[in-house]
């Protein structure tokens, strides 16, 4: 007597929220950024903030990233107020001694580490030093992709409404 068993369903394919576009990994297990460095016009709100008010964008990105790191969930306040301590620190460093790019450099390095993105410190430094608006926008879009594809995004969307 043979027993037959129903086949077990495979779980649905799910993308890693940290690689939402399913980008190919290199031999080191790293990938490229989800958006090109100079692709700043795809989101005009980010483009405006990055070019005209980089301290506000830095503040929001920093807060959203910290929330993801600490809670492994999207920030229900979406970075909170534009004017927060990372924003003020960025504005202070930029206005007093033009060293705000150091914060951008550190932010980019942290994002590359979290999302397993290829690159090196020298490239991060050059990106932050030479074109911090592009750096901020690329970083913000990377974080936004994780938030949009995170399993808990629906709970956060309900809180934001």
Mean pLDDT of 133-139: 95
- Determine, yes or no, domain membership for 13: no
> What are the tens digits of pLDDT across the range 25-60?
899 999 999 999 999 999 999 999 999 999 999 999
- Determine, yes or no, domain membership for 39: no
- Determine, yes or no, domain membership for 33: no
- Determine, yes or no, domain membership for 40: no
Identify the domain containing residue 80 by its residue range: 47-160
pLDDT band at residue 20 using 50, 70 and 90 as cut-offs: confident
Mean pLDDT of 103-113: 95
- Determine, yes or no, domain membership for 4: no
The structural domain count of the chain equals 1
Looking at the predicted structure, is the pLDDT value of residue 122 above 80? yes
Predicted confidence at residue 1, as pLDDT, reads 59
Name residue 117's beta-bridge partners: 31
Tell me how far apart the alpha carbons of residues 79 and 149 are, in angstroms, rounded to a whole number. 17
- Determine, yes or no, domain membership for 15: no
Mean pLDDT of 86-107: 96
- Determine, yes or no, domain membership for 81: yes
- Determine, yes or no, domain membership for 5: no
Helix (H, G, I), strand (E, B) or coil at 31: strand
> What are the tens digits of pLDDT across the range 145-158?
989 888 876 665 55
Long-range pairs of 47-52 with CB within 8 A, sequence gap ≥ 24: 47/133, 47/137, 49/136, 50/132, 50/133, 50/134, 50/136, 50/137, 50/140, 51/133
């Amino acid at each position: 007597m043979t027993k037959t068993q129903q086949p077990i369903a495979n779980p649905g394919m799910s993308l890693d929220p940290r690689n939402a576009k399913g980008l190919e990994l290199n031999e080191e297990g790293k990938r490229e950024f989800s958006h090109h460095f100079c692709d700043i016009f795809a989101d005009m709100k980010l483009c405006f903030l990055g070019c005209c008010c980089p301290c506000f964008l830095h503040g929001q990105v920093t807060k959203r990233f910290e929330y993801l790191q600490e809670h492994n969930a999207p920030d229900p306040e979406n970075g909170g107020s534009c004017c927060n301590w990372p924003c003020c620190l960025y504005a202070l460093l930029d206005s007093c001694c033009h060293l705000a790019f150091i914060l951008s450099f550190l932010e980019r390095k942290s994002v590359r580490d979290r999302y397993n993105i290829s690159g090196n410190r020298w490239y991060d430094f050059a990106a932050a030093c030479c074109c911090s608006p592009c750096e901020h926008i690329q970083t913000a879009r990377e974080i936004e992709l994780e938030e949009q594809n995170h399993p808990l995004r629906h709970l956060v969307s309900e809180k934001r409404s």
